[in-house]
């Protein structure tokens, strides 16, 4: 049966997205195979204690800065061979805190500097670039503020520069607060997939691997040969490591050297981190892929894998395309089963390609402890699904060339479950992204109803997973919002204002939840009155097409006329056509009503004809053809019923109400900023 152009376009998008997503998924499984099939051979050699500079880029990290400096200064390495550069771009209490700590360690004979360049130009990359101007040691180690390197780190890691072409050793991230919450557990599992599968596979082969920005050691000659730190992207680490490997340097991953770090505990902080990684990766793709493709010395497989790694975040927009398309296709009565006559194989295929394969990978990663990690997988799936809005916006930001701003991921020194971050500085409010997440969550609920009423319940888990993810991320973004000013010296002055802001926030959150519930109820009622009658009519038409009993056909027609009356009552009085612009007769419900009445008259005539006559069989074939034509017309009209005038008006009011609440919160945030800037 031919599809109308709109449905055909949506179907093509759906299939294309599915193919691309499947390709990226299969590539991850290929890397999982490489990480196990290729024997890990990491050469080491006794190198003594070569000179090394430890660079610590820091910006407003008063809760973790001392912990980092203390950990670095307790390393088992000769003081005269270890230079420490605290690259402090802070503009809050962190400056004084670090000044005191650095002065104290200087008194104990450490070569430690408190570097203040007086600007944040280039952000972290700018700070590292500035530091390299005065770095003269053979090696450079880098640690972000939330890391806690062990005291044996340098002596163990430095031995892996056995070959002269090794320019970087990247160590594995540990998670000091992995069990703090479901959010941190999901992040930890995701990072372990990256390090123990992707990084391991690439390190053990000729594929390009990336520096993760911290917990690694560079050979200074490698940094300089690759062109130094660039500030054009948000992921300077990925940029530099790829340029180094294009120059012939080798990057090595050390899975057995683990450096603990603090995972983001606030949802808005985690979203900011994910946004930066996604946007920066696409920026690097736009910047580097052409050079990688034309580079003759780079193997074909390496080029392919570089393309996949740099562009892999496009999976998130494609996930949204599929999510938006699926309910439309189900409402259009499209058959989307993997095997049309065995619907259960559809969900089995999804499970095999997704959770099933991931559980096998978890078994290979964690061995005896795999069961405890497998329990976290559902949380990771929900987390990743919900993050697709945040990361999709990041991808579009990069493609459209939106101006870069390196927004740090705040950390609070959280280690145990008893530690609290809610009343500390650096808390982030939710953003406009949350509005989009709420929209997709409500759309998902409508999609679930469509799956039920279109007799496609097999797709409910697929739509439901993403719907839960959107609502979860939105809810956590709202519930983790706190209006707390970053400059603690002024907290007492504005405590009353902060309380007022938190009251406004709580009331706004209640309002948003009320609007969501109201919108869900109205969407259900709208579907029940506008779309579900069409689904029932198509079902009855299927019954007519498959029957040759006049009595059964007449009962179907009675039910069709009842549903048709409901639809006609909900359409404009002028033409009873749901298409606003360029309406056609195929979607004119007055014509459909006439065709149904013709069927009623025809079946009444046929019922009086002997069943064994040729006239009877000819008449039944004509009824079947007419029923099929009416069904086709209903399928053409169904997508337009979603965008009826009443639905558009209601949706507009619904969106305006939520935007109004966001605007009120934004005004409150701007008031705090004005007070901070004025110095009151």
Predicted local confidence at residue 506, as pLDDT: 67
Q: What is the pLDDT of residues 146-163, one digit of tens each?
A: 999 999 999 999 999 989
Domain contains 7: no
Mean pLDDT, the chain, rounded, equals 87
**For the residues 350-359, what does the mean pLDDT come to?**
74
DSSP string spanning 143-191?
Answer: --TTEE--TTHHHHHGGG--STTEEEEEEEEEETTGGG-HHHHHHHHHH
**132-141, 311-320, 463-472, 527-536: range with lowest mean pLDDT:** 527-536
Q: How far apart are CA 468 and CA 269, in angstroms?
A: 20
Q: Which residues are catalytic?
A: 89, 237
Q: How far apart are CA 524 and CA 534, in angstroms?
A: 15
Report which of 542, 569, 540, 545 is spatially closest to residue 557, judged by C-alpha positions. Answer: 540
Predicted local confidence at residue 491, as pLDDT: 43
**For the residues 285-298, what does the mean pLDDT come to?**
92
Q: How far apart are CA 63 and CA 60, in angstroms?
A: 9
**10-14, 412-416, 571-575, 625-629: range with lowest mean pLDDT:** 571-575
**For the residues 48-54, what does the mean pLDDT come to?**
94
Rounded to the nearest angstrom, the gap between the alpha carbon of residue 521 and the centroid of all alpha carbons in its chain is 28
Task: Please determine, for residue 353, whether its predicted confidence score (pLDDT) is greater than 70.
Answer: no
Q: How far apart are CA 171 and CA 396, in angstroms?
A: 31
pTM beyond 0.85: the answer is no
Looking at the structure of the chain, the number of domains it has is: 1
Predicted local confidence at residue 673, as pLDDT: 57
Domain contains 656: no
Predicted local confidence at residue 154, as pLDDT: 96
Domain contains 675: no
Predicted local confidence at residue 680, as pLDDT: 46
Task: Please determine, for residue 355, whether its predicted confidence score (pLDDT) is greater than 80.
Answer: no
pLDDT band at 488 (very low <50, low <70, confident <90, very high): very low
Domain contains 568: yes
52 forms bridges with which residues in the sheet?
Answer: 82, 139
DSSP state of 205: S
Predicted local confidence at residue 679, as pLDDT: 47
**149-163, 190-204, 431-445: range with lowest mean pLDDT:** 431-445
Coil/strand/helix, residue 43: coil
**166-180, 211-225, 382-396, 441-455: range with lowest mean pLDDT:** 441-455
Predicted local confidence at residue 494, as pLDDT: 45
The residue segments making up the domain with residue 627 are: 530-649
Please provide residue 137's backbone torsions phi and psi, each rounded to the nearest 5 degrees. Answer: -85, 170
Q: How far apart are CA 82 and CA 76, in angstroms?
A: 10
Report which of 171, 130, 132 is spatially closest to residue 148, judged by C-alpha positions. Answer: 171
Q: How far apart are CA 349 and CA 360, in angstroms?
A: 15
- The two counts, helices (H) then strands (E), for the chain are 25, 8
Domain contains 621: yes
Domain contains 597: yes
Contact residues for 646 (Cβ-Cβ < 8 A; gap 6+): 526, 570
pLDDT band at 226 (very low <50, low <70, confident <90, very high): very high
Domain contains 641: yes
Predicted local confidence at residue 283, as pLDDT: 95
Task: Please determine, for residue 375, whether its predicted confidence score (pLDDT) is greater than 70.
Answer: yes
Domain contains 75: no
**For the residues 239-261, what does the mean pLDDT come to?**
96
**For the residues 512-524, what does the mean pLDDT come to?**
75
Q: Which of 187-191, 565-569, 599-603 has the highest mean pLDDT?
A: 187-191
Q: How far apart are CA 675 and CA 680, in angstroms?
A: 6
DSSP state of 110: -
Q: What is the pLDDT of residues 66-90, one digit of tens each?
A: 999 999 999 999 999 999 999 999 9
Q: Which of 295-309, 331-345, 487-501 has the highest mean pLDDT?
A: 295-309
Task: Please determine, for residue 537, whether its predicted confidence score (pLDDT) is greater than 80.
Answer: yes
**C-alpha count within 13 angstroms, C-beta hemisphere, residue 50:** 21
Report which of 279, 257, 261 is spatially closest to residue 160, judged by C-alpha positions. Answer: 257
Q: How far apart are CA 490 and CA 210, in angstroms?
A: 42
CATH code, 582: 1.20.120
3-state secondary structure 208-275: CCCCCCCCEEEEHHHHHHCCCCCCCCCCHHHHHHHHHHHCCCEEEEEEEEEEEECCCCCHHHHHHHHH
Task: Please determine, for residue 484, whether its predicted confidence score (pLDDT) is greater than 80.
Answer: no
Task: Please determine, for residue 526, whether its predicted confidence score (pLDDT) is greater than 80.
Answer: no
């Amino acid at each position: 049966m031919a599809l109308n152009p709109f449905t055909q376009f949506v179907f093509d998008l759906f299939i294309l997205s599915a193919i691309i997503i499947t390709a990226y998924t299969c590539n991850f499984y290929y890397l999982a195979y490489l990480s196990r099939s290729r024997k890990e051979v990491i050469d080491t050699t006794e190198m003594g204690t070569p000179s090394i500079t430890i660079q610590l880029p820091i910006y407003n990290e008063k809760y973790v800065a001392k912990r980092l400096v203390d950990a670095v200064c307790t390393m088992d390495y000769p003081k005269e061979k270890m230079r420490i550069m605290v690259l402090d771009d802070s503009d809050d209490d962190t400056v004084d805190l670090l000044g005191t700590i650095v002065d104290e360690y200087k008194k104990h004979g450490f070569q430690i500097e408190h570097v203040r360049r007086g600007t944040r130009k280039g952000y972290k990359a700018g700070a590292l670039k500035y530091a390299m101007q005065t770095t003269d040691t053979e090696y450079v180690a880098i640690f972000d503020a939330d890391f806690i390197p062990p005291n044996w780190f340098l002596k163990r890691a430095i031995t892996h520069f056995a070959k002269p072409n090794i320019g970087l050793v990247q160590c594995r991230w540990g998670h000091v607060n992995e069990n703090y919450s479901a959010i941190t557990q999901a992040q930890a599992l995701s990072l372990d997939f990256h390090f123990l599968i992707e990084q391991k596979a690439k390190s053990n082969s000729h594929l390009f691997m990336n520096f993760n920005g911290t917990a690694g050691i560079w050979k200074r000659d490698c940094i300089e040969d690759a062109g130094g730190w660039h500030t054009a992207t948000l992921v300077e680490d990925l940029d530099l490591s790829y340029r180094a490997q294009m120059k012939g340097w080798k990057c090595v991953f050390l899975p057995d050297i683990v450096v603990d770090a603090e995972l983001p505990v606030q949802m808005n902080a985690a979203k900011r981190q994910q946004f930066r990684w996604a946007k920066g990766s696409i920026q690097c793709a736009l910047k580097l892929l052409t050079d990688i493709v034309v580079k003759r010395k780079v193997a074909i497989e390496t080029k392919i894998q570089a393309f996949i790694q740099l562009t892999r975040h496009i999976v998130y927009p494609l996930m949204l395309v599929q999510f938006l398309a699926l309910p439309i296709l189900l409402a259009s009565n499209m058959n989307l089963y993997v095997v049309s006559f065995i619907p259960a194989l559809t969900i089995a295929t999804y499970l095999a390609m997704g959770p099933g394969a991931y559980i096998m990978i978890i078994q290979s990663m964690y061995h005896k402890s795999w069961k405890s990690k497998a329990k976290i997988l559902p949380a990771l799936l929900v987390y990743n699904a919900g993050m697709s809005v945040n990361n999709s916006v990041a991808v579009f930001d990069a493609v459209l060339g939106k101006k870069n701003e390196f927004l740090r991921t705040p950390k609070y020194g959280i280690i145990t479950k008893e530690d609290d971050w809610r009343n500390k500085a650096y808390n982030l409010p939710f953003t406009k992204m949350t509005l989009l997440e709420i929209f997709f969550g409500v759309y998902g609920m409508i999609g679930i109803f469509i799956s039920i009423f279109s007799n496609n319940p097999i797709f409910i888990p697929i739509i439901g997973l993403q719907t839960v993810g959107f609502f979860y991320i939105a809810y956590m973004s709202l519930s983790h919002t706190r209006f707390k000013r970053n400059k603690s010296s002024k907290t007492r002055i504005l405590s009353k204002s902060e309380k007022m802001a938190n009251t406004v926030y709580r009331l706004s959150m209640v309002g948003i939840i009320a609007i969501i519930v109201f919108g869900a109820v109205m969407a259900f009622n709208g579907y029940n009155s506008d779309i579900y009658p069409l689904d029932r009519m198509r079902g009855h038409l299927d019954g007519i097409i498959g029957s040759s009993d006049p009595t059964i056909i007449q009962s179907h027609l009675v039910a069709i006329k009842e549903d048709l009356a409901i639809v006609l009552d909900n359409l404009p009085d002028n033409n009873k056509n749901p298409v606003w612009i360029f309406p056609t007769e195929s979607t004119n419900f007055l014509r459909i009503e006439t065709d149904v009445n013709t069927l009623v008259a025809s079946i009444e005539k046929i019922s009086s004809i002997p069943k064994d006559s040729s006239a009877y069989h000819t008449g039944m074939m004509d009824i079947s053809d007419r029923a099929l034509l009416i069904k086709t017309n209903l399928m053409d009209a169904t997508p337009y019923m979603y965008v009826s005038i009443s639905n558009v008006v209601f949706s507009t009011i619904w969106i305006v109400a939520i935007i109004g609440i966001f605007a009120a919160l934004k005004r409150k945030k701007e008031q705090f900023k004005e007070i901070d800037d004025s110095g009151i």
